[in-house]
Amino acid sequence: MSLTEELTDLRQRGAESMPTRLKNALTDEIEDLTRSGVADRSRGVGDLVADFQLLDALGRSHLLSNYLANGPVVLSFYRGGWCPFCTAEMKALERALPAITNLGAVLVAISPQSPDCTEETCVDTGADFVVLSDTGNRVA
């Protein structure tokens, strides 16, 4: 199953079990975000980002510029291991890792989770790539 299909399935199953009041509130929030234009102001493929330094689950420091010195970097931001959509994305990234690596790039995922939660997410999703903790969403 592709990531798109998996996310669609998760969305449909969630909508079926969600109370109507909550479903309406989420729909309103999504519409507000869409109208705000935040997606148009967000970084996209090929956009440059400022150098940053974050810690991984083991407390090791990672500097973006060190990775960029060796080639392109694929950055993925996710909310956390508690989010089923993010978990599906992390698993899909793991499946795509050989293709990313074969293209000479390194994959780095970033979450506002604490390092402890980041480690748990790596174990749960089988992530064999760099996963960093951005507590406070400084980088995001």
How many angstroms separate the CA atoms of 71 and 88, rounded? 27
- Domains in the chain, number: 2
Task: For residues 65 and 124, state if they share a domain.
Answer: yes
pLDDT of 135 above 80: yes
Question: Whole domain around residue 13: which residue ranges?
Answer: 1-42
Residues 83-97, mean pLDDT to the nearest whole number: 91
Cα–Cα distances (Å) from 38 to 41, 47, 108, in that order, read: 5, 16, 23
The pLDDT tens digits of the residues spanning 93-110 come to: 999 999 999 999 999 999
Task: For residues 64 and 111, state if they share a domain.
Answer: yes
Vertex 86, ends 69 and 133: CA angle to 5°? 50
Domain containing 59 — which CATH number? 3.40.30.10
Average the pLDDT over each of 15-29, 43-57, 124-138 and give the range with the smallest value: 15-29
pLDDT of residue 133: 94
> What residues pair up with 63 in beta bridges, in sequence order?
53
Task: For residues 124 and 85, state if they share a domain.
Answer: yes
Task: For residues 50 and 31, state if they share a domain.
Answer: no
Task: For residues 35 and 55, state if they share a domain.
Answer: no
